[in-house]
Amino acid sequence: MEKKNIPGLPHLQFRNLFCIGRNYVEHAQELNNEVPSQPLVFLKPTSTIIFDSESIQIPPQSKNVHHEVELAVAIDKGGTNIPKEKALEHVGGYGIGIDVTARDIQQKAKEKGHPWTVAKGFDTFAPLSTFIKKDQVEDPQNLNLQISVNGEIRQSDSTKLMIHTVTDLIHYLSTIFTLQPGDVILTGTPKGVSAITQGDKIEASLDNGLTTISVTVD
Protein backbone atom coordinates (compact mmCIF):
# COMPACT_ATOMS: atom_id res chain seq x y z
CA MET A 1 0.00 0.00 0.00
CA GLU A 2 1.19 3.52 -0.66
CA LYS A 3 2.19 5.54 2.38
CA LYS A 4 -0.58 7.80 3.57
CA ASN A 5 0.06 11.03 5.43
CA ILE A 6 -2.16 11.72 8.41
CA PRO A 7 -4.54 14.52 7.36
CA GLY A 8 -3.99 17.56 9.56
CA LEU A 9 -0.61 16.22 10.72
CA PRO A 10 1.18 15.99 7.35
CA HIS A 11 4.62 15.38 8.91
CA LEU A 12 3.31 11.96 10.04
CA GLN A 13 2.59 8.88 7.94
CA PHE A 14 0.20 6.23 9.21
CA ARG A 15 1.97 3.32 10.90
CA ASN A 16 0.00 0.90 13.07
CA LEU A 17 -3.69 1.22 13.74
CA PHE A 18 -4.19 -0.01 17.32
CA CYS A 19 -7.79 -0.48 18.39
CA ILE A 20 -9.38 -0.94 21.80
CA GLY A 21 -12.48 -3.06 22.36
CA ARG A 22 -15.05 -2.79 25.14
CA ASN A 23 -13.81 0.52 26.54
CA TYR A 24 -17.28 1.86 27.42
CA VAL A 25 -19.45 -0.07 29.90
CA GLU A 26 -22.80 0.42 28.15
CA HIS A 27 -21.37 -0.65 24.78
CA ALA A 28 -19.91 -3.84 26.27
CA GLN A 29 -23.34 -4.53 27.77
CA GLU A 30 -25.27 -3.94 24.53
CA LEU A 31 -23.25 -6.76 22.93
CA ASN A 32 -23.46 -8.97 26.06
CA ASN A 33 -19.72 -8.77 26.64
CA GLU A 34 -17.88 -8.71 29.94
CA VAL A 35 -15.90 -5.56 30.67
CA PRO A 36 -12.22 -6.51 30.60
CA SER A 37 -9.97 -5.44 33.48
CA GLN A 38 -7.13 -4.67 31.05
CA PRO A 39 -7.54 -2.98 27.67
CA LEU A 40 -8.67 -5.36 24.92
CA VAL A 41 -6.32 -4.68 21.99
CA PHE A 42 -6.56 -5.56 18.32
CA LEU A 43 -5.14 -4.13 15.09
CA LYS A 44 -6.59 -3.04 11.78
CA PRO A 45 -4.40 -3.07 8.67
CA THR A 46 -3.70 0.39 7.22
CA SER A 47 -5.53 -0.68 4.03
CA THR A 48 -8.72 -0.08 6.07
CA ILE A 49 -8.08 3.69 6.16
CA ILE A 50 -10.25 6.04 4.12
CA PHE A 51 -10.86 9.77 4.44
CA ASP A 52 -13.62 12.37 4.27
CA SER A 53 -15.91 12.08 1.21
CA GLU A 54 -14.82 8.51 0.46
CA SER A 55 -16.97 5.37 0.67
CA ILE A 56 -17.19 2.33 2.93
CA GLN A 57 -17.47 -0.79 0.77
CA ILE A 58 -19.77 -3.46 2.21
CA PRO A 59 -17.95 -6.77 1.58
CA PRO A 60 -19.91 -9.66 0.06
CA GLN A 61 -18.84 -11.86 2.99
CA SER A 62 -20.98 -9.94 5.52
CA LYS A 63 -24.70 -9.33 5.93
CA ASN A 64 -24.38 -7.16 9.06
CA VAL A 65 -21.86 -4.30 9.04
CA HIS A 66 -21.88 -1.85 11.98
CA HIS A 67 -20.51 1.64 12.65
CA GLU A 68 -18.54 2.30 15.85
CA VAL A 69 -17.64 5.97 16.38
CA GLU A 70 -14.38 6.45 18.30
CA LEU A 71 -11.85 9.06 19.41
CA ALA A 72 -8.69 8.60 17.31
CA VAL A 73 -5.34 9.52 18.86
CA ALA A 74 -2.26 10.07 16.69
CA ILE A 75 1.15 9.42 18.23
CA ASP A 76 3.80 12.00 17.31
CA LYS A 77 6.62 10.92 19.63
CA GLY A 78 7.42 7.24 19.95
CA GLY A 79 8.48 5.33 23.02
CA THR A 80 8.50 2.19 25.10
CA ASN A 81 7.23 1.90 28.67
CA ILE A 82 5.87 5.45 28.57
CA PRO A 83 4.90 6.54 32.10
CA LYS A 84 1.33 7.73 32.56
CA GLU A 85 2.40 11.21 33.61
CA LYS A 86 4.22 11.66 30.28
CA ALA A 87 1.71 9.84 28.06
CA LEU A 88 -0.09 12.85 26.61
CA GLU A 89 3.26 14.42 25.61
CA HIS A 90 3.48 11.65 22.98
CA VAL A 91 0.23 12.69 21.28
CA GLY A 92 0.31 14.73 18.06
CA GLY A 93 -3.41 15.23 17.62
CA TYR A 94 -6.93 13.92 17.81
CA GLY A 95 -9.52 12.92 15.23
CA ILE A 96 -12.80 11.11 14.91
CA GLY A 97 -12.79 7.62 13.45
CA ILE A 98 -15.23 4.87 12.61
CA ASP A 99 -14.24 1.32 13.54
CA VAL A 100 -16.37 -0.40 10.89
CA THR A 101 -17.11 -3.98 11.95
CA ALA A 102 -18.63 -6.98 10.19
CA ARG A 103 -20.65 -7.94 13.27
CA ASP A 104 -21.79 -11.32 11.96
CA ILE A 105 -18.20 -12.39 11.20
CA GLN A 106 -17.04 -11.02 14.56
CA GLN A 107 -19.80 -12.92 16.40
CA LYS A 108 -18.72 -16.21 14.84
CA ALA A 109 -15.08 -15.47 15.67
CA LYS A 110 -16.02 -14.70 19.29
CA GLU A 111 -17.93 -17.97 19.62
CA LYS A 112 -14.93 -19.93 18.38
CA GLY A 113 -12.31 -17.90 20.23
CA HIS A 114 -10.83 -16.80 16.89
CA PRO A 115 -9.19 -13.42 16.21
CA TRP A 116 -11.21 -10.41 15.05
CA THR A 117 -8.85 -9.44 12.25
CA VAL A 118 -11.16 -10.39 9.39
CA ALA A 119 -14.28 -8.85 10.97
CA LYS A 120 -12.45 -5.56 11.51
CA GLY A 121 -10.02 -5.56 8.62
CA PHE A 122 -11.78 -5.28 5.27
CA ASP A 123 -10.63 -2.47 2.96
CA THR A 124 -12.34 0.88 3.82
CA PHE A 125 -13.24 -0.25 7.37
CA ALA A 126 -11.47 2.68 9.09
CA PRO A 127 -12.76 6.09 7.98
CA LEU A 128 -10.67 8.78 9.73
CA SER A 129 -11.22 12.54 9.88
CA THR A 130 -8.64 15.26 9.57
CA PHE A 131 -6.74 15.35 12.87
CA ILE A 132 -6.57 18.48 14.98
CA LYS A 133 -3.41 19.36 16.84
CA LYS A 134 -3.39 18.36 20.48
CA ASP A 135 -3.18 21.95 21.75
CA GLN A 136 -6.72 22.47 20.41
CA VAL A 137 -7.98 19.88 22.89
CA GLU A 138 -7.97 20.88 26.53
CA ASP A 139 -8.97 17.48 27.88
CA PRO A 140 -9.25 14.33 25.72
CA GLN A 141 -11.54 12.85 28.39
CA ASN A 142 -14.12 15.58 27.91
CA LEU A 143 -15.05 15.31 24.23
CA ASN A 144 -18.39 14.41 22.67
CA LEU A 145 -18.36 11.69 20.01
CA GLN A 146 -21.32 11.69 17.66
CA ILE A 147 -22.34 9.77 14.57
CA SER A 148 -25.45 10.01 12.46
CA VAL A 149 -26.75 7.79 9.68
CA ASN A 150 -28.93 9.57 7.09
CA GLY A 151 -29.33 12.47 9.53
CA GLU A 152 -30.44 10.32 12.49
CA ILE A 153 -28.11 10.39 15.49
CA ARG A 154 -27.12 6.84 16.45
CA GLN A 155 -24.30 7.39 18.95
CA SER A 156 -23.59 10.48 21.07
CA ASP A 157 -21.59 10.18 24.27
CA SER A 158 -18.65 11.72 26.10
CA THR A 159 -15.13 10.34 26.29
CA LYS A 160 -15.61 10.83 30.05
CA LEU A 161 -17.23 7.39 29.92
CA MET A 162 -14.07 5.59 28.76
CA ILE A 163 -12.98 2.82 31.12
CA HIS A 164 -9.29 3.10 30.16
CA THR A 165 -8.33 6.73 29.43
CA VAL A 166 -6.08 7.91 26.60
CA THR A 167 -3.29 8.21 29.17
CA ASP A 168 -3.88 4.65 30.36
CA LEU A 169 -3.98 3.31 26.81
CA ILE A 170 -0.74 4.97 25.69
CA HIS A 171 1.02 3.66 28.80
CA TYR A 172 -0.42 0.16 28.42
CA LEU A 173 0.24 -0.20 24.69
CA SER A 174 3.82 1.04 25.14
CA THR A 175 4.52 -1.73 27.65
CA ILE A 176 3.86 -4.24 24.83
CA PHE A 177 4.63 -2.45 21.56
CA THR A 178 7.20 0.25 20.85
CA LEU A 179 4.95 3.13 19.85
CA GLN A 180 6.12 4.98 16.75
CA PRO A 181 5.31 8.36 15.21
CA GLY A 182 2.28 7.87 13.00
CA ASP A 183 0.70 5.14 15.10
CA VAL A 184 -2.99 5.80 15.64
CA ILE A 185 -5.12 4.48 18.49
CA LEU A 186 -8.87 3.99 18.07
CA THR A 187 -9.99 4.17 21.67
CA GLY A 188 -13.25 2.22 21.69
CA THR A 189 -16.89 3.04 21.05
CA PRO A 190 -19.76 4.15 23.29
CA LYS A 191 -23.23 2.58 23.17
CA GLY A 192 -25.50 2.73 20.14
CA VAL A 193 -23.74 0.73 17.43
CA SER A 194 -26.04 -0.25 14.58
CA ALA A 195 -26.12 -1.56 11.05
CA ILE A 196 -25.24 0.41 7.93
CA THR A 197 -26.26 -0.50 4.41
CA GLN A 198 -25.61 0.55 0.84
CA GLY A 199 -26.71 4.10 0.11
CA ASP A 200 -26.36 5.35 3.70
CA LYS A 201 -24.74 8.69 4.41
CA ILE A 202 -22.69 8.68 7.60
CA GLU A 203 -21.48 11.77 9.41
CA ALA A 204 -19.32 11.78 12.52
CA SER A 205 -18.25 14.74 14.60
CA LEU A 206 -15.74 15.28 17.39
CA ASP A 207 -17.03 17.64 20.07
CA ASN A 208 -19.66 19.40 17.98
CA GLY A 209 -17.53 20.09 14.94
CA LEU A 210 -13.94 20.34 16.16
CA THR A 211 -13.36 17.96 13.26
CA THR A 212 -15.84 15.94 11.21
CA ILE A 213 -16.01 13.21 8.60
CA SER A 214 -18.69 12.36 6.10
CA VAL A 215 -18.68 9.09 4.15
CA THR A 216 -21.15 7.11 2.10
CA VAL A 217 -21.73 3.36 1.99
CA ASP A 218 -21.36 1.47 -1.30
Buried-state track 126-147, b at ≥16 Cβ within 10 A, e below 16: bbbbbbbebeebeebeebbbbb
Q: How far apart are the first and last CA of the chain?
A: 21
Task: Please give the Cα distance from 113 to 106 (Å, whole number).
Answer: 10
> Smallest distance, Å, CB 71 to Mg ion?
11
| Amino acid letter for position 53 | S
> Smallest distance, Å, CB 204 to Mg ion?
13
Choices 35-43, 128-136, 155-163, 181-189; region in contact with Mg ion by CB under 5 A: 181-189
Nearer to Mg ion, 68 or 157 (CB): 68
Kindly state the helix (H) or strand (E) to which residue 97 belongs, with its residue range.
strand 91-98
Instruction: Tell me the residue nearest to Mg ion as measured from the CB.
Output: 99
Q: Whose CA is closest to 89, among 77, 81, 71? A: 77
Residue 168 contacts Mg ion per CB under 5 A? no
Residue 76 contacts Mg ion per CB under 5 A? no
> Smallest distance, Å, CB 21 to Mg ion?
6
Find the binder of Mg ion among 99, 168, 183, 207 (CB under 5 A).
99
Nearer to Mg ion, 99 or 207 (CB): 99
Residue 68 contacts Mg ion per CB under 5 A? yes
Task: Please give the Cα distance from 98 to 49 (Å, whole number).
Answer: 10
- Interface contacts to Mg ion, rule CB under 5 A: 68, 99, 189
